[in-house]
Structure 1
Amino acid sequence: MWLCALATGAGALPILFIRQISHRQMDVLLAYTAGIMVAASTYGLIPASLKLTNLWVLCCGVLAGALLLNIIEKVLPHVDLKHDSGKVLVPHESLMMVSAMTIHNIPEGLSVGASFGSGDDSLGLVVALSIGLQNAPEGFLVALFLFHQGVRKGVAILIATITGMIEVVASFIGYHIVGVALFLVPYGLAFAGGAMLFIVYKELIPETHGHGYERSATFAFLIGLLSMIAVVEMFR
């Protein structure tokens, strides 16, 4: 469970080796990671939820995840930490990104803990591996997005790691209340899928289509989506 969650922080480490990034490179990287997130939602979280429940619960969960992110976007304040007043700017979009990743890690953690607590070790291992594989690019995305918004690299990695640590807490909760957690898993998976899809379409795709590199970003998105599907298929 620890390795699954720490994959988020590990995925953020490559940001240390990025000194300067052009608009084209940023658009390609964001689009690639957006493709991974869409695949994780539509090929992983949503089908898993649908297998455990019905279409009504799935729809309610996905829409609830998107609705919560919409509310967060409206109520989150702009935190003015700008350097010319002795502070640093943490933009509204960055707060929303961190909130989205933190929220969607909670049901994922519950799923991992409940899977191990069910007594089927092979199930727990498969669930943990699947979620860990998607956590690494998600950690990179959070760190990259924060870095792009002017946040220091060390702080960006720390924040990305913290979003993953939420998953550890949720995993222990899911393990110890496996009966309740297993009941909540399909709802949580659908909720997580809706939150991820909202952040991809609302923030990431517009961000990759504002600098004239739409074609490169589009192909990067498709490659990211196919990469995630290929990884999931390899470990099934």
Structure 2
Amino acid sequence: MEDVYIGIIVSSICTILGAVPAVFLQNISHRHKDNLLAYTAGIMVAAATYGLIPSTLKISNLLVLSIGIILGTLVLTLLDYYLPHIDLDHSSTVSFQTSAPLLFIAIALHNVPEGLSVGVSYASDYQDLGPVVSFAIALQNIPEGFLIALFLISNYESRFKAFLYTAITGLIELISSMIGFHFTGAFLFIVPYGLAFAAGAMLFIVYKELIPESHGDGNETTATFSFIFGLLSMITLTNWFR
């Protein structure tokens, strides 16, 4: 039981850990931003295709996987349409143009199914499912937390508030994980859908946001290598901890 709580807490707290370096950064060049986005994209693709998708197929079938991925894509599409998202101008420094409260809502909504998937995965009858899902989501939470905090700071929020708001999104995921774990009887049937939903959401973010943004300032070559390194990093770490 203690290992379960540790896994759930670590998965959620990684969002906060990602925010820490953003608090101390003064400026970030577009080259570094592009490489960071591409590296994040690699991590998220590996988390989806090497962790979440195989886990979904292990406990369900291709139809469930397809439904979950499509739902994740559709929900993120609606959020992208109705709520502002990070908009990185292609200039000498990184700037973000959108509403901080609305982006916060979008991230919070995105973290709920992730948290439920982690909690219910630990409570399921599949012994190895919880650690794999928790680890996959934890690793992609680190760069996600970094980008959230950097966005808020660039929108003239204080560094303390940026860190606090990012921590709240992590707390929302933690609460969702606990709910999923303790009320698994009510949520058990959604485990494969939740895993596939998270995979679809990650893949949407990668293709719609991260890759296009990482190729907008002439840094395509280094961004491509950063993507590959991110992919390999996630696969390597997943193998180590299995």
Shorter-normalised TM-score: what interval? 0.7 to 0.9
Gaps of 5+ in 1: 79-88
Once the 2 structures are TM-superposed, how far is the Cα of residue 170 of structure 1 from its aligned partner?
Answer: 1.1
Compute the TM-score of the two structures, normalised by the length of structure 2: 0.80
Q: Deviations over 1:181-204 (max 9, x none)?
A: 221110011111111111111111
The equivalent residue for 2:26 is: 19
Find the partner of 2:111 among 105, 108, 113.
105
Q: Does structure 1 conserve the Cα–Cα contact (< 8 Å) formed by 2:121 and 2:191?
A: no
Of 118-127 and 60-69, deviating more is 118-127
The equivalent residue for 1:47 is: 54
1:186 corresponds to which letter in structure 2? P
Q: Does structure 2 conserve the Cα–Cα contact (< 8 Å) formed by 1:4 and 1:129?
A: yes
2:164 corresponds to which letter in structure 1? L
Find the partner of 1:185 among 182, 191, 197.
191
The equivalent residue for 2:181 is: 175
Once the 2 structures are TM-superposed, how far is the Cα of residue 116 of structure 1 from its aligned partner?
Answer: 4.0
Q: Does structure 2 conserve the Cα–Cα contact (< 8 Å) formed by 1:98 and 1:142?
A: no
Once the 2 structures are TM-superposed, how far is the Cα of residue 122 of structure 1 from its aligned partner?
Answer: 7.1
Find the partner of 2:142 among 132, 136, 146.
136
Once the 2 structures are TM-superposed, how far is the Cα of residue 180 of structure 1 from its aligned partner?
Answer: 2.6
1:132 corresponds to which letter in structure 2? A
Find the partner of 1:199 among 173, 194, 205.
205
Dislocated runs of 4+, deviation >6 Å: 119-122
Once the 2 structures are TM-superposed, how far is the Cα of residue 104 of structure 1 from its aligned partner?
Answer: 3.9
Find the partner of 1:158 among 164, 170, 189.
164
2:45 aligned with 1:38, yes or no? yes
Q: Does structure 1 conserve the Cα–Cα contact (< 8 Å) formed by 2:23 and 2:150?
A: no
Find the partner of 1:228 among 229, 234, 240.
234
Compute the TM-score of the two structures, normalised by the length of structure 1: 0.82
Find the aligned partners of 1:94 and 1:29 in 2 and give their Cα distance.
24
2:222 aligned with 1:212, yes or no? no
Once the 2 structures are TM-superposed, how far is the Cα of residue 49 of structure 1 from its aligned partner?
Answer: 1.1
Find the aligned partners of 1:228 and 1:125 in 2 and give their Cα distance.
14
Q: Does structure 1 conserve the Cα–Cα contact (< 8 Å) formed by 2:180 and 2:187?
A: yes
Change (3 A) 1:77 1:223: closer
Of 185-194 and 123-132, deviating more is 123-132
Find the aligned partners of 2:126 and 2:208 in 1 and give their Cα distance.
38
2:189 corresponds to which letter in structure 1? F
Q: Does structure 1 conserve the Cα–Cα contact (< 8 Å) formed by 2:16 and 2:142?
A: yes
Once the 2 structures are TM-superposed, how far is the Cα of residue 144 of structure 1 from its aligned partner?
Answer: 3.6
Q: Does structure 2 conserve the Cα–Cα contact (< 8 Å) formed by 1:139 and 1:160?
A: yes
RMSD of aligned residue pairs (Cα, Å): 2.8
Question: The residue matched to 1:185 in structure 2 has which SS?
Answer: helix
Q: Deviations over 1:158-186 (max 9, x none)?
A: 33222221111111211222123221110
Find the aligned partners of 1:3 and 1:31 in 2 and give their Cα distance.
24
2:10 aligned with 1:3, yes or no? yes
Find the aligned partners of 2:129 and 2:155 in 1 and give their Cα distance.
39
The residue correspondences of 1:70-85 to structure 2 (distance < 5 A) are 70-76=77-83
2:21 corresponds to which letter in structure 1? P
